[in-house]
Structure 1
Amino acid sequence: MSDAPDWSRIQKALAVEAQYGYTDLVGQQYRFGEFLCLSFGKPPAHTTSKDRQHWRELAFEFDKYHDLTLVERRELIARASQFLTVAEQVCAHQHGDRSVPAPTVNESPRQIIPSKPTANLKVAPATIPVRGDTNLTLDRYLRDIPKLGIRKAEILARLGLLTVKDVLYYYPRDHIDYAKQINIIELEPGTTVTLVGIVRKINFFTSPKNKKLNVLELTIKDETGQLKISRFYAGTRYSSRGWQESLKRKYPVGSWIAASGLVKQGKYGINLDNPEIEVLADADASISSLKIGRVLPVYPLIEGVSADVVREAVVTVLPAAEQLTDPLPKVVREQYGLMELAASIQNIHFPEDSDTKEAARRRLIFDEFFYLQLGFLQRRHLMRQVHTQAIITPTGVLIDRFRELLPFQLTNAQQRVVSEILSDLQLPAPMNRLVQGDVGSGKTVVAVLAILAAIQSGYQTALMAPTEVLAEQHYRKLVGWFNLLHLPVELLTGSTKAAKRRQIYSELETGELSIAVGTHALIQDKVNFRNLGLVVIDEQHRFGVFQRAKLQQKGSQPHVLTMTATPIPRTLALTLHGDLDVSQIDELPAGRQPIQTNAVNSRQRSQVYELMHREIAQGRQVYIVLPLVEESEKLDLRAATEEHERLATEVFPQYQVGLLHGRMSSADKDAAITAFRDNLTQIIVSTTVIEVGVDVPNATVMLIENAERFGLSQLHQLRGRVGRGAHRSYCLLMSSSTSGDAKQRLQVLEQSQDGFWISEMDMQLRGPGQVLGTRQSGMADFALASLAEDGEVLTIARDAAEKVILQDNDLSESPRLKAELDYRFQKLMGGSILT
């Protein structure tokens, strides 16, 4: 075999190149690609012309190795390695060396594919019953389970896990897929994998840069190459020579190991990032670890509770999932293709594979949505069984006169919503309707028509707003209209003087006052209506469920109309308002001009100020919005108070510059808003207090500083303060952020003026809780479901719930379903559910 190539040298070159990440390593004489090109350019003697052609093809490919992509290099090395193995066997048999196995393939190198993993991984099931424990019931306390004991039970109690059922329903927040077993040569950065190989070298050393960090380094080999993997141990106790020697004995040279982890491209090539390692008895042994070679659950944790303790508890109690009775009717499961409950619980924790995990997740998400919607629909059904004393006539003199006074025609969307409301008011059951409308869509006019219908039928009405600014705005509008109709209107807020307050209390109690506009002051105990027939709540998401309910209790089952100018996505609307009838004003009045919206940076500030000068010179006005009142070192934002002073003295000394923020007294706020409304101040520097309720048609420019700090829906609300008149308006989003996410969010505002689409984008980018600005009181809390990602499941869950209620509205024919609903709905709506 003297004419044979140096097989081992070529194979070693392939393995080292693979180990160091296919970087075209530089040797003493040649680069890797050059060396392989030369090696394959000299085929063994006595090879056939066909085989010689294969050698030359590989030589040609390695000549171009430096220009190949990472994937192409990896694939070429895999083919070359297997081709060499076959070629060596052929050559050995031609020379009579029978110690080398006979070749089994004789293919072109282009047809050879990477080999199967060295060893077939066998993963032991995670659901092994606890031996000797025959009392593993769903309500059994964890402290009474011998395998867990009191110490571990106390740790798990920190997560609120006390019983077997608690653990079963403690869902993972994520999974890491280590089920994919591959060979070393197939490693690709960014993937999670499991390798099986033989330990060729072991080393343990202390990091020269950190004396408290110790590193275990193993070199493992399979038939395609070798790889160096490292595990890190932080702490001085790991510096002990005895401990290090015991660890070395755990991974002896020549032993088989399985390693699972994330593949990373490091400084010295590809490696596994701090992998999980288990020693195997042999290449075909089963893996018993809960971490290696399987889809690994990742649980929500708190300080002092380790992932291993939670996983051990889950494995211990998982056999009890078989005791779960599925309350969901079989016909529903079959219609929507849902996994059974016991199987879904088992597979959400330790799934067989990714497909099984997704099927389990889909079923459990369906349950979260289904019971919430079922509860909403049952509550709506029960509400419709209640009778109201306020039967309101949809037609009359007041409504006719008001329509004649309006200087414009209602849009088709307004007409449709008014028709829906007036139809509700005639029914014996109290109305419970939400009106959603974009900024400037005309919700107030719709509400006034409902109010007039109630008043002309002999009932009192209340309009509650979350802020004094918004309540004042509504009061001004209603006074302007109702004075022409000779109807009294009063405003009741925290700033109302004591004498005026007593007068309003008296007139409401006697029935002299038909309508009161106000803030939370309307729900105080001293406020008593004689005959409250209609409650209107604006920006209702800013009130808690108990505040809304308390206003309703001021009458005998009054009708309730809620409004919001914060468009929210359909999925969020179903989750928050599944028991309401929802109307949507999705059309703006004719003549409303689009607002030119641009994201700008601080370098363009002078151009922004020039635009303001031009607009003010034409008699227009300007908003400048900042997120804070006083300077915050933490956020380093411009403060409204300091910015107001700077603008008034340095930038716009020739104009009157006003200031408005939430810490001002009510009187000062009113004065600032009135001065701006009357054009006594040309510029108003404000915080987000102007988000709703300030209506100045003459304002045409809005500059929002640090726009990246706001949510999209809030920016859209702020933008709605301009563009309310006949003149072209501008909204400028000033941002100094270089973040790609921040730029993407601001581009959404530049591209669209559709509040509903913007709210969908906002929810996808920030999540439902942030879309509402603050955590919504009464908002359902889900363990698995995501409103941004699982809208399709919510839709079918709502559909299924509607069908169930239609057939069995009190669930008397489905006692298990009713019991599960009672438990789940209270948990969801109480906000105390799950993880």
Structure 2
Amino acid sequence: MSDRQIDWIKLQKALAIEVETGFRDIVGKQYRFSEFLCLNLGDPSTSLSLEHKRQCQELASRFAQYPGLELSDRQHLIAKTRHFILQVRQTSPNPEGLRVAETAVTGKIPVTKPLVAFDSEITPDRPLLYLPKVGARKADVLAKLGLQTVRDLLFYYPRDHIDYARQINISQLQAGETVTILGTVRRCTCFTSPKNKKLTILEIIIEDRSGKIRLSRFLAGDRYSHRGRQETIKRQYPPGAVVAASGLVENNKYGLTLKDPQIEVLGDRQDAIDSVTIGRIVPIYPLTEGIAAETIRQAVIEALPAAKRLRDPFPRAFREGYGLIPLKDAIANIHFPENHEIKQAARRRLVFDEFFYLQLGFLQRRNQLRQSQTAASLAPTGKLIEEFYNILPFQLTKAQQRVINDVLKDLQKPNPMNRLIQGDVGSGKTVVAVIAILIAIQSGYQAALMAPTEVLAEQHYRKLISWFNLLHLPVELLTGSTKTAKRREIHSQLQTGELPLLVGTHALIQETVNFAKLGFVVIDEQHRFGVKQRATLLAKGEAPHVLTMTATPIPRTLALTMHGDLDVSQIDELPPGRQAIQTSILSGKERSQAYDLMRREIAQGRQVYIVFPLVEESEKLDVRAAVAEHEQLAESIFPEFQVGLLHGRMTSAEKDEAITAFRDNITQILVATTVVEVGVDVPNATVMMIENAERFGLSQLHQLRGRVGRGHAKSFCLLMTGSKSQNAMERLKVLEQSQDGFFISEMDLRFRGPGEVLGTRQTGLADFALASLVEDGEVLEIARDAAEKVLMQDESLASFPLMQAELNARYEKLMGGAILT
């Protein structure tokens, strides 16, 4: 057995790339993906346990068979491998598996020297005004970015870095690389551009032993156009002078050159480079108008000595257990790292911090909630529940039963339930919610169900009233469209306690809505509500039990950063009889085939959805719009059928009329916008055609696809696209290959990022300075584990005062001042 160390980071990157490219066994520079995994896992390091070595070799043998595996088997193998790597890193003394210089020999992570020595008396709390090279004018400029003190500046992380640290010969230059070259000036000219009198061009020919290169810098403004000024600039670069130049290599009409090069004259080739950009890994900071990049870089250099005075909240044993470098070293090296390895070590420490304090806050909040008391004491069994089970026309799935058991356990505790149910489209979340509602009602309490749209609230109401009528229980619907007289009647019945269940939209949180004894709240698609809206509804009872639901499967990383204070249950099984929906990507040339399929389905008594991304035509966007296309479809393409129209700008009465007509098969085709994404349940519909599918997110497309396949007939989803973009096609192929909402949401997160996956930016989504939910999922898992262990050791954090102080300082800022329900 070799004593070679496995590079877990490279393995993770390879796995991530394979997922992103559609499990195609991609070919790298030296090996195929499967060969690379097979070689690396087949020769594990001696530092692993015997069990981990065995698992390594087992996975290696599976990757040897990877080229012949089905897509689902490839997906399963990669998921299993990622889980194994996470396990190894959590149990390893150095969980990150960092391979930096000296690490394998000494076990220590090397720390680079920052640009300045740590010998200053500058403190983190000193105002920037008093830094020698900042002063009052620059301090006012930096204040535009919210930077007031040295501490603010130290924690103002770069958004990226450019690597000018790689020094090569001129003959080795390749377009697209960022490099530094060292050479001798052969010729220098400085002149006014013949095309623009306000533009001055500096041209320098540099030569080394391997070749020559022409570098150009463009100086804008009248001050450079005077001949005397141009001669002064030219004299800075005399023939024979040794210069260092850094920049991005690009091709122009003169051949290879450096774009916007940074140039410094050296005494000779042995001189050190003094520039803060040339020959270094250069930080790129978020800027605003009127602030130059160099202003921030120079200010950071002035502030860096104060990093040594930062008190690290993590004890040494804690840091070593999770492979983290000290805070002062992380801060110094996130700004001006000496090499990529130390930059990654610095970033990992600071990403860990962001995740750790978020999870610590979530878990503290959850523990406090578990210790609080609820007035609603609920009995999990009774005659009402038995009657409901008797009237159910179907058997519950094992997954539904498992989640019901989770809910029943919660309801028997003295503290309020706070549980999220995740489940794919059609997995049966509503039935679970109804059982919990009935438990509250039979215990003498009222319940409320809040949905984000009238369409979804109406759908819930229809389903509930069919069951509640058989149980002889009243239920009402309250939305913005409810008539005044009916609204008053509902308000009265709520206050007297006659009405046990109210379903509605945001109308439920109005001041005039008062419950006699609210004990249970269900919030559907909760990520569409603001934090204050959810809190307002809960305030209408005395610490009521809360069940939140989402049919938009949320990747675990996203769930932890949005719902880290909730208990989560997952319905990961569809009811029996649900068939896979045949999904196809079609171009405009194949439109006639799509229309033929629709005609065949309608001839058999089925119905069809056609979804468009816009209500009306837009001059800026070349997309097919619902209103205009509805006329075309009704008059020219399907004149023999009834074609309905549904979009968000219609009144509630018009929407209800359109949905009812489609539900009753009066209209065979429903042309709609994404208003049908949730809440429209027509089992007879078997075709979903989505126009301009590339404009939708994967999770949204999966939701729309879920409108069909709800009956017993075979169903179809047609993704129409005119896009030639490779990225767009790769995204849509995920829908063709998978029906798993959780896998699709993971891929959506990778392609589009968390803000887009959720549809709109939510106040409940943490705002990170460095951390990425796409790239740093494993660090998030480790940080969550660390936070749990800290609270198990000391729930009050009394023995970790620095952690508690840092938590207080960070948590509200990180969450935008909004604490989740």
The TM-score range, normalised by the shorter chain, is: 0.7 to 0.9
For residue 659 of structure 1, report the CA deviation from its aligned partner. Answer: 0.9
Which residue is 1:311 aligned to? 297
Return the match for 2:564 from 557, 573, 578: 578
| Structure possessing the higher radius of gyration over alpha carbons | 1
Name the CA distance, whole Å, in 2 between partners of 1:211 and 1:441.
69
Return the match for 1:435 from 421, 425, 450: 421
- Aligned-partner residue type, residue 259 of structure 2: D
8 Å contact from structure 2 (residues 113, 338) kept in 1:
no
Residue 136 of structure 2 corresponds to residue 150 of structure 1: yes
8 Å contact from structure 2 (residues 417, 545) kept in 1:
yes
For residue 569 of structure 1, report the CA deviation from its aligned partner. Answer: 0.4
Name the CA distance, whole Å, in 1 between partners of 2:783 and 2:276.
34
8 Å contact from structure 1 (residues 127, 315) kept in 2:
yes
Which residue is 1:601 aligned to? 587
- Aligned-partner residue type, residue 154 of structure 1: D
Which residue is 1:803 aligned to? 789
Return the match for 2:448 from 462, 468, 471: 462
8 Å contact from structure 1 (residues 202, 216) kept in 2:
yes
Which residue is 1:336 aligned to? 322
Residue 702 of structure 2 corresponds to residue 720 of structure 1: no
8 Å contact from structure 2 (residues 114, 332) kept in 1:
no
Spell out the pairing of 1:682-693 with structure 2 (5 A cutoff).
682-693=668-679
Tell me, what secondary structure is at the counterpart of 1:760? helix
8 Å contact from structure 2 (residues 118, 308) kept in 1:
no
Tell me, what secondary structure is at the counterpart of 1:287? coil
Return the match for 1:291 from 263, 277, 293: 277
Which residue is 1:263 aligned to? 249
8 Å contact from structure 1 (residues 214, 233) kept in 2:
yes
- Aligned-partner residue type, residue 132 of structure 2: P
8 Å contact from structure 2 (residues 475, 499) kept in 1:
yes
Structure 2 unaligned runs (5+)?
A: 1-111
Spell out the pairing of 1:98-177 with structure 2 (5 A cutoff).
126-128=115-117, 134=121, 136-177=122-163
Name the CA distance, whole Å, in 2 between partners of 1:639 and 1:792.
42
For residue 210 of structure 1, report the CA deviation from its aligned partner. Answer: 4.7
For residue 706 of structure 1, report the CA deviation from its aligned partner. Answer: 1.2
Return the match for 2:391 from 383, 387, 405: 405
- Aligned-partner residue type, residue 454 of structure 2: E
Which residue is 1:320 aligned to? 306
CA deviation profile, 1:97-142 (whole Å, cap 9, x unmatched): xxxxxxxxxxxxxxxxxxxxxxxxxx99522579xx85x2222221
Tell me, what secondary structure is at the counterpart of 2:470? coil
Name the CA distance, whole Å, in 2 between partners of 1:640 and 1:512.
43
- Aligned-partner residue type, residue 686 of structure 2: T
- Aligned-partner residue type, residue 732 of structure 2: L
For residue 825 of structure 1, report the CA deviation from its aligned partner. Answer: 0.6
CA deviation profile, 1:313-361 (whole Å, cap 9, x unmatched): 1011110111110112322211101011111001000111111110000
**Greater shift in the superposed pair: 795-804 or 449-458:** 449-458
- Aligned-partner residue type, residue 375 of structure 2: Q
**Greater shift in the superposed pair: 317-326 or 239-248:** 239-248
Name the CA distance, whole Å, in 2 between partners of 1:232 and 1:603.
49
How much identity, in percent, do the aligned residues show? 69
8 Å contact from structure 2 (residues 764, 815) kept in 1:
yes
Name the CA distance, whole Å, in 2 between partners of 1:174 and 1:829.
23
Spell out the pairing of 1:764-783 with structure 2 (5 A cutoff).
764-783=750-769
8 Å contact from structure 1 (residues 781, 831) kept in 2:
no
Name the CA distance, whole Å, in 1 between partners of 2:316 and 2:549.
40
8 Å contact from structure 2 (residues 763, 816) kept in 1:
no
8 Å contact from structure 1 (residues 475, 517) kept in 2:
yes
For residue 651 of structure 1, report the CA deviation from its aligned partner. Answer: 1.2
Runs of 4+ in 1 over 3 A off after TM superposition: 205-214, 234-237, 265-268
Tell me, what secondary structure is at the counterpart of 2:618? coil
Pair 1:794–1:271, CA change in 2 (3 A): same
Size of the aligned set, in residue pairs, is 708
TM-score (normalised: structure 2):
0.84
For residue 610 of structure 1, report the CA deviation from its aligned partner. Answer: 1.3
After superposition, the CA RMSD in angstroms is: 1.6
Which residue is 1:494 aligned to? 480
Return the match for 2:469 from 483, 506, 509: 483
8 Å contact from structure 1 (residues 128, 316) kept in 2:
no
Spell out the pairing of 1:628-667 with structure 2 (5 A cutoff).
628-667=614-653
Which residue is 2:534 aligned to? 548
For residue 213 of structure 1, report the CA deviation from its aligned partner. Answer: 3.8
For residue 677 of structure 1, report the CA deviation from its aligned partner. Answer: 0.4
Pair 1:716–1:645, CA change in 2 (3 A): same
Pair 1:421–1:256, CA change in 2 (3 A): same
8 Å contact from structure 1 (residues 780, 831) kept in 2:
no
Which residue is 2:225 aligned to? 239
8 Å contact from structure 2 (residues 347, 770) kept in 1:
yes
Name the CA distance, whole Å, in 1 between partners of 2:756 and 2:114.
41
Tell me, what secondary structure is at the counterpart of 2:815? helix
Spell out the pairing of 1:47-126 with structure 2 (5 A cutoff).
126=115
Name the CA distance, whole Å, in 2 between partners of 1:809 and 1:571.
24
Name the CA distance, whole Å, in 2 between partners of 1:692 and 1:814.
46
TM-score (normalised: structure 1):
0.83
For residue 273 of structure 1, report the CA deviation from its aligned partner. Answer: 1.9
**Greater shift in the superposed pair: 322-331 or 203-212:** 203-212
8 Å contact from structure 2 (residues 114, 333) kept in 1:
no
Pair 1:124–1:266, CA change in 2 (3 A): farther
Residue 357 of structure 2 corresponds to residue 371 of structure 1: yes
**Greater shift in the superposed pair: 563-572 or 256-265:** 256-265
For residue 831 of structure 1, report the CA deviation from its aligned partner. Answer: 6.1
Name the CA distance, whole Å, in 2 between partners of 1:495 and 1:792.
47
8 Å contact from structure 1 (residues 124, 288) kept in 2:
no
CA deviation profile, 1:220-246 (whole Å, cap 9, x unmatched): 222222222222223444332222211
Name the CA distance, whole Å, in 1 between partners of 2:221 and 2:721.
44
Name the CA distance, whole Å, in 1 between partners of 2:777 and 2:694.
27
Which residue is 2:491 aligned to? 505
Name the CA distance, whole Å, in 1 between partners of 2:806 and 2:508.
38
Which residue is 2:78 aligned to? none
Which residue is 1:95 aligned to? none
8 Å contact from structure 1 (residues 217, 231) kept in 2:
yes
Name the CA distance, whole Å, in 2 between partners of 1:489 and 1:732.
38
CA deviation profile, 1:744-778 (whole Å, cap 9, x unmatched): 11111111111100100001010001000001122
Return the match for 1:734 from 707, 713, 720: 720
Which residue is 1:352 aligned to? 338
- Aligned-partner residue type, residue 422 of structure 1: L
Name the CA distance, whole Å, in 2 between partners of 1:602 and 1:740.
17
Name the CA distance, whole Å, in 1 between partners of 2:518 and 2:591.
53
CA deviation profile, 1:656-696 (whole Å, cap 9, x unmatched): 11111111111111111101100111111111111100000
Name the CA distance, whole Å, in 2 between partners of 1:166 and 1:124.
21
Which residue is 1:278 aligned to? 264
Name the CA distance, whole Å, in 2 between partners of 1:193 and 1:699.
59
Return the match for 2:665 from 659, 675, 679: 679
Structure 1 unaligned runs (5+)?
A: 1-122
CA deviation profile, 1:431-467 (whole Å, cap 9, x unmatched): 0000000011110111111111111111111111001
Residue 165 of structure 2 corresponds to residue 196 of structure 1: no
Pair 1:465–1:279, CA change in 2 (3 A): same
- Aligned-partner residue type, residue 197 of structure 1: G
Name the CA distance, whole Å, in 2 between partners of 1:332 and 1:521.
49
Name the CA distance, whole Å, in 2 between partners of 1:599 and 1:776.
31
Name the CA distance, whole Å, in 2 between partners of 1:325 and 1:826.
21
Return the match for 1:178 from 164, 182, 185: 164
**Greater shift in the superposed pair: 397-406 or 250-259:** 397-406
Tell me, what secondary structure is at the counterpart of 1:286? coil
